[in-house]
Chains A and B, each alone.
Chain A
Amino acid sequence: MGEFKVHRVRFFDYMPTAIRAMAFNSRTERLALARADGALEIFNFADNYFQEKVIPGQDGRAVEALCWVGQRLFSAGLNGEITEYDLENLRPRYTVEAYGGPIWTISSNSQGTLLAVGCEDGTVKMFEILEERIQFQRNLDRQKGRIISLSWHPSGTLIAAGMMDMIRIFDAETGRATHRLLVERGVGASKSKEVVVWSIVFLSDHTIVSGDSAGKVQIWDGVTGTLVRTQLVTKWDVLALSVSNDESSLVAGTSEGTVVQFQFISSTVGQQDKEWVRTRTFKNHSHDVRALAHTETAVVSGGMDTQLVVRPLLDKVEKNTQESALRKMTLPHRSLVCCAKKAGLLLFQFPDHLELWRLGESDGHGEVLKQKDHICCSALSPCGGWLAYSTVTSFRLYRLQNNNISITKVSKLPKDLRSAHQLCFSPDSSKLFASSSHSSVIVVALNQPECKYLHTLKPKSGSRQPVHLLFASEDGKWLATANTDCEIHVYNLDKLKLHCTVPVYSSCPTAIAIHPTTSNLVAVHADQQIFEFSLVQKEYTEWSRKLQKQGLHSLWLERDTPITHVAFNPQNPAHIILHDTFMFCIIDQSLPLPEAKTPFYNQMTLRSLPEPQRIIHSHAFKICKNFQHLMCVSLLEDHSLVVVERPLLNIMSQLPAPVRQKKFAT
């Protein structure tokens, strides 16, 4: 098989940020997630929960709430601004000041015409949603406390607002507050603290459900303004509530990390009188759950422990299938590590700075970039001479010299190169490729000490989605790009025009690479399918057809993290090296493909078998699970393997304080 010298790298101190808010768009099946540093992520729930898009954060953009209006995404934060995002160019489209102080919540009516925000100064501000912008319409009656949460009645005529110690019901047309529901404070020591109604839901039968800081979930009658039921769910706060579309199930997230489900059912079977009954409790988080979304079939939760958990409900999906498995998304679905193969350098991308390390030494360079905008993408040239990174608004190129002791900034950059979603250097470090708006790629020539604009490559399909994957072939002839519309285009760099387009597959590509000698494009998709496409013949290769016909092994398809990097072995052209978060795999194309019934992870057993038996039993997929959690696996020029790990324990030990739970015998 092969032995490699492994550089095991564990000094990438990547720290994911806490999840602050989320919103699910059931029509497009996309989940939007806002993190504490202002970053926004879009997950495609229909495509194996792939993290399609990431909009980097910004200092000071403290997002508190998210809201979908059709295909448009709005956020509101403590900086008092409402932001609409451009999901095709991965940046904020515009921001509108609400002039009400910090904004705590944002919600739109079911018709999608009005946007209501709850502000610190006690006003609920209504904005009209127009074609290209939003416009302030009016304030509702100003209240004496801050508005923490809002919920529209599905008819769009009433709004329930959760404040301190009380809930107010507003008439959306007149703006008058009609009812005031007083929320009881906690018992004991918390009686002196005001109770905060963190979350509120207005159902179509005029029932209001509220979750507050005293740990109660209360059910109110919105018509008479009376309390129907109180349920003490936790000793700490109930931070988030979410109701399903058909209003039969409700989930509440607590500071303990539990998610409690309530269902609208009758307590005895067959009877008509339904009520909200507490049914299930999920404990999938170690820290506070601050954001919840209830989809058709699952409960999605996220919070201070930075993991996104999707828990399918077993009464909506079939048990013991791939569909019903618990999914946890911890690390990003894209590579944050760039490896300069020839120079033995590693570039680590953090939100606000980059770190450059040399393998074999223990100290490295840390470049701290004091910028408000966070870094979108970064790249290091294979020779280690150039470094480039891009934020939402700017682009920087640096020249590294004297074994990267000196870093000089290249000042004169071409005008067209303003910001990029993805960057890639050519293997001979003579060109830089930057993905720009609407699936186009800008080609820039690097002649020291300056760089010159060469060309813009555009696909024929006219897709407006951004390119998230770039790969330049070793011989400098081809450039492969993939965008979130699931298109893969290959350009001929000698002629600087489109060579071919790979037939579109329904799942988004997560990693692409071009073989150095055979010029075959290998593409791995979010649903774990692998394709190999010959660029010379413009068709799928024989091996790829064989793989498709036989089908991939079920254990391969059941993996829940995507492949983020594909590499090749110069010593053995039949090898393809892939990795995801929990394993790295070497596919040997010369060996037979595994049958559905054969044991898939058979590396350990093979070692114990004698030689002739080993040949009979070995199959193409050789998987190694020694290293976890993997952030990058790359092959250097001297045939040693670089494995960048980020153990989950290291992340967990740096998380903020969880609640103290007294457990028996501890």
Chain B
Amino acid sequence: MEIAGGLNDGTGEMNESKVENSAGQDIKIKVLFFARARDLTGVSETSLEMPDGSTAGDCMRNLLVKFPSLQEIYNSMVLAINEEYAAESTLLTSKDELAIIPPISGG
């Protein structure tokens, strides 16, 4: 995402100072793993520090590096942010809760 790229380029310049929250600071995200995702990572939750302006997709890419075995479900899983389904393009803010949702099987 271009916006995230602009903030990430390390110059610390904040021309786009319309960002309302603590601009430029890392945001802390809680990540939950369920079912097969938990089997693959070995943990039911973790936390991530991400650059401000990160998307759910950015987090997912980060998680795939941290837990390469998640690749197994990457093409069948979906994401949720704060208990609502979310696209990978969704921007995250600090203290958001990201859930890794492998294919569901209720009922």
Partners in one complex: no
